[in-house]
Amino acid sequence: MLAVAARLAIHSLPSARRPRLVTTEHNVWSSHALVTRLLNATTWGLDDAHLVVSDDVRDSVWPPGRRRRAEVLIHGTVVERFRAARAHRSAVRERLGIDPSEVLVGTVANFRSQKAYPDLLRAARRVVDREPGVRFVAVGQGPQEAEVRALHAELGLGDRFLLLGYRDDVPEILAAGDVFVLASRYEGLPVAVMEALAAGLPVVATDVAGIRQVVRPGVEGLLVPPRRPERLADAILAVATDKDLRGRLAEAASRRAEEFDVRRSIARIEHMYHELAGS
């Protein structure tokens, strides 16, 4: 709705004073309320340029004829920052109370319905019941924190699943892990997954828009249907209990991360802005 408001406000100005307008779509249109989709479709033509974060987001734009004007631009991340954090792996695991022999599965996701924490927590319960040497850690905050913590207590996860809340040391937390997990019900293109790849982590995630563009099944990780905690648990266990598989996926993740260096997207955005300003 903010994009709609910005379009209307800018086009209410005299043409001589009207700035150029670039909007970015971060989620598939099906994740928006119907009224938002209709207003987006009605005002889309008022933009001077459109960016979308993944192929799936572009393909969700309605009506289909408008998709030709949308450019896919993967925002990326600071790859070197996450690689450098690996030097702190042992120290961070020690601070978190993770034994060197344990496999640490981490996530970075705020407490919102989109991120499907109930599915993740139920999957974690299944995992630790079958493999006590696996621990979980989550970085995140948000409006559903009370519900998430209540379910965490109900499932008796205790210190097998650490809820860390907000952290400003996400690269170090990821570097301390062995596997990254994301249980989302929908996505545009999650930065956290690109950060996990930069940290050299194999990814276990749901097969939803955006994620499937970054993680290739069986190459950098495993993908499972959303809303299926039992399938998510099986995939986590497959990676956590197979050191050779985990190593192959991790090596591929590090290679894949090269494609998501944020400097590429910065250069493209700067070029676009110069073009629009010049015109």
Same domain (yes/no): 188, 250? yes
pLDDT in the model for residue 8: 92
In the chain, the amino acid numbered 138 is: A
Same domain (yes/no): 135, 226? yes
Same domain (yes/no): 21, 140? no
pLDDT in the model for residue 279: 67
Provide long-range contacts, Cβ within 8 A and 24+ apart, for 116-119.
Answer: 116/183, 116/184, 116/185, 116/206, 116/226, 116/227, 117/144, 117/148, 117/151, 117/183, 118/148, 118/151, 118/229, 119/183, 119/226, 119/227, 119/228, 119/229, 119/232
pTM of the model as a whole = 0.88
Same domain (yes/no): 188, 222? yes
For residue 255, give the CATH number of its domain.
Answer: 3.40.50.2000
Same domain (yes/no): 29, 103? no
pLDDT > 90? residue 78:
yes
Same domain (yes/no): 227, 101? yes
Same domain (yes/no): 104, 116? yes
Contact of 171 with 82, CB cutoff 8 Å: yes
pLDDT in the model for residue 228: 98
Q: What is the pLDDT of residues 87-145, one digit of tens each?
A: 999 999 999 999 999 999 999 999 999 999 999 999 999 999 999 999 999 999 999 99
Confidence at 63, pLDDT banded by 50, 70, 90: confident
**What is the torsional sign of CA 240, 244, 245, 250?**
positive
Residue with tokens 């090596």, as numbered in its chain:
251
pLDDT > 90? residue 209:
no
Same domain (yes/no): 103, 171? yes
Contact of 221 with 202, CB cutoff 8 Å: yes
The percent of residues in the chain predicted with pLDDT above 70, rounded, is 100
Same domain (yes/no): 251, 268? no
Contact of 233 with 105, CB cutoff 8 Å: no
Same domain (yes/no): 93, 139? yes
Same domain (yes/no): 54, 186? no
pLDDT in the model for residue 184: 98
pLDDT > 80? residue 160:
yes
Same domain (yes/no): 68, 90? no
Over the chain, what is the mean pLDDT? 95
> Could you give the number of structural domains in the chain?
2
pLDDT in the model for residue 17: 87
Contact of 7 with 47, CB cutoff 8 Å: yes
pLDDT in the model for residue 1: 75
* Domain boundaries, position 35: 2-75+261-278
Coil, helix or strand at residue 153: helix
